[in-house]
Amino acid sequence: MTDKYVRAKVIGRKDFTNDLFCLWLKPETEDGEPFDFKFKPGQYCTLGKDGIERAYSIVSAPYEDFLEIFIELVPEGELTPKMFELKQGDYMSLRPRAKGIFTFDPKYKNHVMVATVTGIAPFVSIIRDYRHRLKSGHNFFVLQGASYFDEFVYNDELMELTRSGLSESNLVYVATVSRPIEARNKDWRDNGGRAGRVNEILEYYLSIWNIKYNIRQDNALVYACGHPGMIESVKNRVTSKDIPPEERWKVKEERFWKE
């Protein structure tokens, strides 16, 4: 270990599509001793390989003894192609301190979380941590968008948490595809999945949830994570100067820039 780096050992990997995969990493010192990497749900870590570093939101919650990272391969990128070649037992460098302020704000009762593909990462961390600590009094409304249904890597986990309804699970999850008529989305269409870009259906769901769950501008925070275009659209739709001040929503953002 140095002041600037520890190392992260690959202890697991799973590929979901040709360009989406997860790595499970174990932080440790240069001597192979476990390193206690501390972070808050919603924060990111800085990983590197061959001198190239990038920030990645952490999927895992602090109670888990590994770092779970959800990655999209960017073929022309500098780091993700190197990460794509990693296998169990390989190493990356890891900055020893997590960073970021895209974290859970408990003063709001309702938390509307809008994500595109890998942007779901900090939300999974926040929800896992909240449920692990048996907290109560807050509600989570997750909207995730992708081009294809097989990009919803955490769909099963999030749907399982919604089985008994909001009153018990504190979670509503909606996944929507932007290319519903393409053959790759056939199963999604057959199962009645939602269609449309996630930013374009936000206002509809805010209206529905206002009626059903009493979500209002004064008791909710909107989080947007992922593609910068989606985030700008979300902000324009719910915080525009054309909207009366009392009808504007509060938005917290985390942008994922491609390499």
Q: What is the pLDDT of residues 191-228, one digit of tens each?
A: 777 999 999 999 999 999 999 999 999 999 999 999 99
The pairing of strands 44-49 and 91-94 is antiparallel
pLDDT in tens, 234-246: 999 999 989 999 9
CA atoms of 218 and 246, how far apart (whole Å): 9
Structural domains of the chain, ranges and CATH numbers in brackets: 6-94 (2.40.30.10), 110-255 (3.40.50.80)
Report whether pLDDT(259) > 60. no
Write b or e for each residue in 156-166: b if 16 or more Cβ atoms lie within 10 A of its Cβ, otherwise e.
eebeebbeeee
Query: Residue 187 burial (CB < 10 Å; 0-12/13-18/19+)?
Result: exposed
| Reported pTM | 0.95
3-state SS, residue 174:
strand
